[in-house]
Chains A and B, each alone.
Chain A
Amino acid sequence: MPQADTQSFRTALIQEEDLSLLEEVSMKTAGVSHLEMCIQCGSCGGSCPPAEEMDHTPRMLFAMLRAGMRDAVLQSNTPWICVSCYHCVVRCPQNVHITDVMYTLKSMAIRAKKYRDATAPEFSETFVDMVEKYGRSFEFGLATRHYLKHAPLRLVGMSTLGLGMLTKGRMSLTPKRIKGMPQLKAILDKAKELELTS
């Protein structure tokens, strides 16, 4: 009887089995995630409009979560492709809060610095920077900073659009700042110290 090819046999095995992963993700998700209730039916993967761009369907990602594949999960581009359309959420037969789980996975990937493409995380961070600075979003600042860093070439193409938006009064060159910035800052500073633990 021939021996099993040990090399390929190994690659078929899951190397890391971090069984705390599922609970951690569930804990860090805003509402009650119901993640442990997934029956792997695939209604999420079937619903997802940009599924073809994802390296793993949401369902597969949940299977990987269960298998404790921490690195592979946090490296997946799936959460970053999610467009927050909530089709999967309303169709999920087990009421898993899929979109919110995707948000959790993004924040975990950022903390662990596991994401593979910086475009999306940095866009989010730029957006948040603006909000933390002004209390409101600032589209002009966001767009210029974002494109300068990640798509300088696209900036050229986008400039006509930007110009159009400016001339039609749909974009402002100066940010609006809320009055209660100190209050907001105090709230956010405190919030950053807190984490969901139960």
Chain B
Amino acid sequence: MSAESKSSKPKVGVYICHCGTNISHTVDVEQVREWAEKTLGAEGVVIARDYKFMCSSLGQELIEKDIKELGLERVVVAACSPHLHEMTFRGASKRSGLNPYLTELASIREQVSWVHTDKAVATEKAKAVVAGAVRRVIQNEPLEEIRVPIHPDTLVVGGGIAGIQAALEIANAGFKVYLVEREPSIGGHMAQFDKTFPTLDCAACILTPRMFEAGNHPNIELLTWSEVTHVAGYVGNFTVTIKKKPRYVNTDLCTGCGICVEKCPKKVVDDVYEAGLGYRKVVYTPFAQAVPKYPVIDAPNCTYFQKGTCKACEKFCPTNAIDFTQKEEYVTIQVGNIILATGYDLFDARRVSNYGYGRLANVFTSIEFERMSNAAGPTGGNIVLRDGKTQPKTVGIIHCVGSRDKNYNNYCSSICCMQSLKFAHLVRERTGATVYEFYIDMRTPMKAYDEFYQRVLEEGTLFVRGKVAQVTNAARNEREEGKLIIQVEDTLAGKQRRIPVDMVILSIGMEPRHDAKETSHLFGVGCSSDGWFIEKHPKLDPVSTMTEGVMIAGCATGPKDIPASVAQGAAAAARVLNKIMQKEVVLEPIKASINEAQCSGCRICNGLCPFNAILFHEDRMVSEINPALCQGCGTCVAACPAGAISGTGFSNEQILAQIDGLLMDVNLAV
């Protein structure tokens, strides 16, 4: 800090917000204002005002007017968190000709009024926070924002319906999209479903055209059977490494004729697409409408890879497309923005041992039922028991399996009520069986959802309000013999009931992807303790993350139905297009720099930088920071033994001054 600005104290304006009553309820705003004007007058405060809503246009105009008329050189706004309104007030300063970085926000709402109750104590703390900000802002230096160009290409991770939607929106706007999917085909969970609620459209009928469009779009480069392994860079300029797993099929030669699949002699249980209810060949395309159409060889199960013989697929392939020598391949791409649409996993119903899944044959999960009711599924759409032939006469559908339960997941999975109603309808329609629905609360809040509930009621499905206690095969009498007995309290009747059924369907909840934590680290997005990704703002910015340039869509942030996932895919695309159209991105000018005259060339900082932004000049024996690579964390600033490194926005002078200010009252008392 230069000596002159210290001696001739810059003029500071302090503005204290009531935030309606959010702040003034617990902080005596008038007292803080008066104190700021009097006590901080010596610090350079020339004006202190309070206002009902500082962030309103009238509030901002107040500041703008003072800057112009009183010649303010620094502004402190004591209001909410800088994460909410820092930009707002910097904007106000800028409009009236003050460098925006000479404005500081003091958080007296999140850190004072909302978390404390004693008004006198809260008021004193508010004063301390304001004093800290005033001392700090005096040390602020004018900065220029950094502008970098945005790469127009986009990476979409996850080829479910949300990812497909996002990719199509961007591609249709004329920009290139890389769509990465780790399974052999795009389509996601939706491709497994039979019907979709509440309209009962066939899932394949509405999804397949979108998949086809994405697969054939000139602006979309599909990378299926691939995973992102490394991400570097920042908004506008990401470098992404993608691993392409070996397909053992040369996609340039393959025509997708399917002869290899037909000739493959080995069948395994398909745990992914068929949810464990059916089989697939070892060389396979997950389903008939798969995009791309090329099959994949499941190497760990392939007889050739196990024993070195077989090669039936290779023998019969009419285009010689089978290539057992393929290795995994890494490709590196440049993109400006990333959309994460990585979806969800399903709850493992075996964990609820009292429902008997995995032990009692005729207990099915919802995803198994989806496959069973799908005409292309393992039973050809016939609803049958585990023996593969007997139609159930009575079916019990259990809601909230693994959801809304502190033993498993606390949250509501949001789709299970509607999904269960859909199942009830399908069972009634196809088998005429008696259907019971066991629910804790019916949650049908979206468009046409409750009407669907009404329809299922009308169809004669029997609803029992009660969380099922157990599903057992231990019969107590003749009526129960050979059946699955659902034991439940009918809470509306206030009595325990034992209801014998032939088939039980467990409406299992959604869970974050098992590798969500790794994904969140890879892309630098926040992840809650549950494992769901964290939105920038849950209400007002649900598709952005705290990391600029990385958006999220679909179930990666929490359970959602298809309409919501599609809407989010489109919304995330809109965010990306907005960035692309701006052509450049404004970055906070928070960077470290080295004063060469002070640098002793000790190289301590060199190894500390995780972004390799510091380079050492052997000839001059000094280090230098590349501003394009520096992310502004400040670790090198703190470590430099010579004090040669300074960090803009968070300089030593600023922080030490803030400490002084925060402790001003303590020292006044000495």
Contacts and interface: CB of A to CB of B under 8 A. Distances in A.
12 contacts: A42-B488, A43-B468, A45-B466, A46-B470, A46-B487, A46-B496, A47-B470, A48-B469, A57-B489, A57-B496, A87-B469, A91-B354
A93 interface: yes
Nearest to A52: B496
A94 B467 CA distance: 12
* 9 closest residue pairs by CB, A with B: A46-B469, A45-B489, A42-B489, A93-B405, A41-B467, A42-B466, A47-B469, A42-B491, A51-B496
A91 B487 CA distance: 13
B477 interface: no
Interface string B467-501: 11110000000000000000111110011110000
A117 B397 CA distance: 40
A177 interface: no
A59 B496 CA distance: 11
A60 interface: yes
A1 B465 CA distance: 34
A47 B404 CA distance: 18
A59 B222 CA distance: 54
A15 B469 CA distance: 32
Contacts of B406: 93-95
B407 interface: yes
A56 B496 contact: no
A44 interface: yes
A48 B354 CA distance: 13
Interface string B57-82: 00000000000000000000000000
A89 to B, nearest CB: 11
A39 B406 CA distance: 12
A3 to B, nearest CB: 29
A44 B494 contact: no
Contacts of B467: 41-43, 46, 93
A52 B490 CA distance: 12
A40 interface: yes
B600 to A, nearest CB: 59
Nearest to A56: B494
Contacts of B488: 42, 46
Interface residues of A, number: 23
B466 A93 contact: no
A88 B468 CA distance: 11
Contacts of A47: 469-470, 487
A125 B570 CA distance: 69
B354 to A, nearest CB: 6
Nearest to B408: A93
A86 to B, nearest CB: 12
A51 B494 CA distance: 10
B352 to A, nearest CB: 9
A41 B494 contact: no
A135 to B, nearest CB: 38
Nearest to B469: A46
Interface residues of B, number: 22
Interface string B495-524: 111000000000000000000000000000
Contacts of B275: none
Q: What secondary structure prevails in chain A residues at the interface with B? A: helix
Contacts of B407: 90-91, 93, 95
Contacts of B630: none
A47 B354 CA distance: 10
A94 B404 CA distance: 9
Given A47-B469, A91-B354, A39 B440 contact: yes
Given A46-B467, A91-B354, A93-B407, A60 B487 contact: no
A34 B5 CA distance: 60
Interface string A57-74: 101100000000000000
B494 A43 contact: no
B469 A43 contact: yes
Contacts of B468: 43, 46
A45 B440 contact: no
A46 B466 contact: yes
A43 B496 contact: no
A59 B404 contact: no
B405 A48 contact: no
A44 B440 contact: no
A83 B465 CA distance: 25
Contacts of B469: 42-48, 87-88, 91
Contacts of B405: 93
Nearest to B465: A42
A139 B487 CA distance: 36
B465 to A, nearest CB: 8
Nearest to B406: A95
Given A43-B469, A91-B469, 9 more contacts: A42-B490, A45-B489, A46-B489, A60-B494, A88-B469, A91-B354, A93-B405, A93-B467, A95-B406
Contacts of A45: 466, 469, 489, 491, 494, 496
Contacts of B496: 45-46, 48, 51-52, 57
Interface in B425-483: 440, 465-470
Contacts of B494: 45, 56-57, 60
A108 B406 CA distance: 29
Contacts of A40: 491
Contacts of B497: 46
Nearest to B468: A46
A43 B400 CA distance: 12
Interface string B403-414: 011110000000
Contacts of A94: 406
Given A56-B494, A94-B406, A41 B440 contact: yes
Nearest to B498: A46
A83 to B, nearest CB: 14
Contacts of A48: 469, 496
A60 B491 CA distance: 8
Most buried by B among A43, A44, A46, A51: A46
Interface in A83-134: 87-88, 90-91, 93-95
Nearest to A37: B406
Interface string A158-173: 0000000000000000
A65 B158 CA distance: 50
Contact of A41 (B354, B470, B491, B495): B491
A56 B496 CA distance: 10
